[in-house]
Structure 1
Amino acid sequence: MNVNEQITTFLNSNLLDKYLIGQTTTSESVEVEHYINTYPEVKKVYEQLQDKLELSAQINAVKAPENALDNILNALEEETPVIPMQPKKPRKKWFSLAIAASVAALLFASSSAYLYVQNSNLSSENQVIVDEIFDLRSDIAKNNNRLNDILEQFKQLNNPETEKYVLQGNRSAKDLKTVAYINPKEKKSMIDVVSLPQLPDDQVYQIWADIQGKMVSLGILTEADRKLQEIPYTEDALGLSISVEPKGGSLERSNDTPVAEISLKLNE
């Protein structure tokens, strides 16, 4: 422990306060006097405490009534003559008691403030821990849901009833590739976007299902969709196709020549 840490530890021990009111043991007094004489910082704090205690003692002192002495002397003169004497200065014992009371008040105030600060800090720390636990539980719940979704997807992929369809792009989109997984028994459809060629900002890729010659939209495909995800299942679909549509998608397929298409074997 370095010097600064020793001084801080000493000042936090309240030995100076005990020393001022004469409550230290012999060994404690020797230790206090050593610190006062050795370290100017301690001496300065000691002198400041002395000044504060003396001021507090003077403020808290109860002043005797102005006529109290005269009244006592008059009462005594009725029986035996006395020679008036100058009032003595307050005894050191009274002064020490006043200082002790002031020290006790200061210690109580300091302890109350310290406990208040500690309680506030503890409340803040507890709130932080509660928030972290809440966030952790939320993350765990999200991860569990995500894990359940992945397990469900793998279950569908490994289901013998699930058919796999690869949609390759034509000359207009040579690098386009998506894989569709359809299970007519479970009525589940999923798609895996493997690659999508870059399009102008005002165009998007849209996937369609062919139901008796009517094209039904299954959603818009983007680069962000490069993961296995569910798409609406369509009963009696004859095929799937992907077309280039205006940004935001279309209610009807506007391009009669899709960039990728495939027939389904669900009705065979």
Structure 2
Amino acid sequence: MDNTRKDDMMDRNSIKDTGILEQYLLGELSDKQMTEVENILKQDQELREYFLAMEDDFEKLAIENAIPPPIHIKKSLLTAVASTKTLDDSDKVISIKTKDRRSIYMTIAASFALLFALSSGWLYNQWQTARNTIKTVQNQTVDFQNRINTLENQLNETNKWYTAINTPNTIQLILKGNKISPNSTAITYVNHTEKTVILNAKGLVKLDQNKTYQMWADVDGEMIDMGIVASNQDMIAMKYIDNAASINITIEPAGGNDHPTVERLISNVFL
């Protein structure tokens, strides 16, 4: 027997068992091996039918596992693939040249690779867009929650003051500005039962940063400090002083004073 022919030539079983047909289909064999396989396929009807079935399965598998791209990309790519010259089954096995076969399968493989690349790129862009959208929504949600918290705090603060000034034992007193500050007006709410004093300072004229308003209680002719009037608040809880005959407001240096500047008295009201 010719040992050389036995080593070089391939029979039907070796072709099926060793995966040579798959290599042939993908153009991975040498020119000599490609020629040998083609010759065997020409002579062996059963093996040729087996090859054609495998070739169809390969194409179906490639199509079934393709990732659907956007419609406009898919249409353009399929048009390009469709323009490639197709061959009938007999041409694929018998008459087609090795280089032509490689070219066609390389074209198909490249087409699917391009389809996958375009699909992957599109999916990545979609993922990035979705990620950015989620991040924006999360930031907006945090900002919205902060606003809700702020509004809730303001509402709680308002309810607290509303409750305090509307109790039956609360007395409302209006302090009008004198000639030193004629446009100033303040309202104080005094509750002798609860021993609380609340000042609505919204109507006081704004002062320079080096000055502040300060409230005093007159007890038997002595002015006792009730606290500095905060410039950044409308409603302020002041100190309650027992046995006060009147409440007074003066203009003092920033930080307050330990005794009132009488000549800078702008308003007072008797209890």
Q: 1:21 aligns with which of 81, 92, 99?
A: 81
The corresponding residue for 2:214 is 206
The corresponding residue for 1:165 is 173
Looking at structure 2, the residues matched to 205 and 122 of structure 1 have their Cα atoms a distance apart, in angstroms, of 55
Looking at structure 2, the residues matched to 216 and 170 of structure 1 have their Cα atoms a distance apart, in angstroms, of 20
Which runs of 5 or more residues in structure 2 are unaligned?
1-69, 85-95
Looking at structure 2, the residues matched to 207 and 190 of structure 1 have their Cα atoms a distance apart, in angstroms, of 11
Q: 1:240 aligns with which of 247, 257, 260?
A: 247
Aligned length: 188
The corresponding residue for 2:267 is 260
**Is 1:162–1:184's contact at 8 Å kept on the other side of the alignment?**
yes
Amino acid at match of 1:241: N
Deviation of 1:162 after TM superposition, in Å, equals 0.5
From the superposition, tell whether residues 198 and 92 of structure 1 become closer, same or farther in structure 2 (CA, over 3 Å): closer
Q: 1:234 is paired with a residue of what secondary structure?
A: coil
Q: 2:213 is paired with a residue of what secondary structure?
A: strand
Q: 1:216 is paired with a residue of what secondary structure?
A: strand
From the superposition, tell whether residues 194 and 89 of structure 1 become closer, same or farther in structure 2 (CA, over 3 Å): closer
The corresponding residue for 1:95 is 103
Amino acid at match of 2:201: V
Looking at structure 2, the residues matched to 14 and 155 of structure 1 have their Cα atoms a distance apart, in angstroms, of 69
* TM-score, normalised via structure 1 length: 0.60
**Is 1:208–1:219's contact at 8 Å kept on the other side of the alignment?**
no
**Is 1:175–1:197's contact at 8 Å kept on the other side of the alignment?**
yes
Looking at structure 1, the residues matched to 195 and 135 of structure 2 have their Cα atoms a distance apart, in angstroms, of 47
The corresponding residue for 1:112 is 120
Amino acid at match of 2:114: L
From the superposition, tell whether residues 121 and 237 of structure 1 become closer, same or farther in structure 2 (CA, over 3 Å): farther
Sequence identity (%): 22
Looking at structure 2, the residues matched to 93 and 19 of structure 1 have their Cα atoms a distance apart, in angstroms, of 21
Q: 1:181 is paired with a residue of what secondary structure?
A: strand
Deviation of 1:231 after TM superposition, in Å, equals 1.8
Amino acid at match of 1:234: Y
Deviation of 1:260 after TM superposition, in Å, equals 1.4
Looking at structure 1, the residues matched to 204 and 119 of structure 2 have their Cα atoms a distance apart, in angstroms, of 69
Looking at structure 2, the residues matched to 128 and 148 of structure 1 have their Cα atoms a distance apart, in angstroms, of 30
Q: 1:179 aligns with which of 162, 166, 187?
A: 187
Is 1:250 the counterpart of 2:229? The answer is: no
The corresponding residue for 1:7 is none
Query: Aligned Cα RMSD in Å?
Result: 2.9
Looking at structure 1, the residues matched to 73 and 135 of structure 2 have their Cα atoms a distance apart, in angstroms, of 31
From the superposition, tell whether residues 177 and 124 of structure 1 become closer, same or farther in structure 2 (CA, over 3 Å): same
* TM-score, normalised via structure 2 length: 0.59
Deviation of 1:97 after TM superposition, in Å, equals 0.7
Q: 1:171 is paired with a residue of what secondary structure?
A: coil
Deviation of 1:194 after TM superposition, in Å, equals 5.1
Looking at structure 2, the residues matched to 208 and 20 of structure 1 have their Cα atoms a distance apart, in angstroms, of 91
Range 114-123 or range 250-259, more displaced: 250-259
Range 188-197 or range 144-153, more displaced: 188-197
**1:2-43 Cα distance to aligned partner (Å, 9 max, x none):** xxxxxxxx982422322333399xxxxxxxxxxxxxxxxxxx
The corresponding residue for 1:72 is none
Looking at structure 2, the residues matched to 135 and 12 of structure 1 have their Cα atoms a distance apart, in angstroms, of 39
Looking at structure 2, the residues matched to 128 and 198 of structure 1 have their Cα atoms a distance apart, in angstroms, of 41
**1:124-171 Cα distance to aligned partner (Å, 9 max, x none):** 110111111121122112112212222222222221110111112233
Amino acid at match of 1:218: G
Looking at structure 2, the residues matched to 130 and 124 of structure 1 have their Cα atoms a distance apart, in angstroms, of 10
Is 1:231 the counterpart of 2:237? The answer is: yes
Deviation of 1:180 after TM superposition, in Å, equals 0.1
Looking at structure 2, the residues matched to 12 and 200 of structure 1 have their Cα atoms a distance apart, in angstroms, of 68
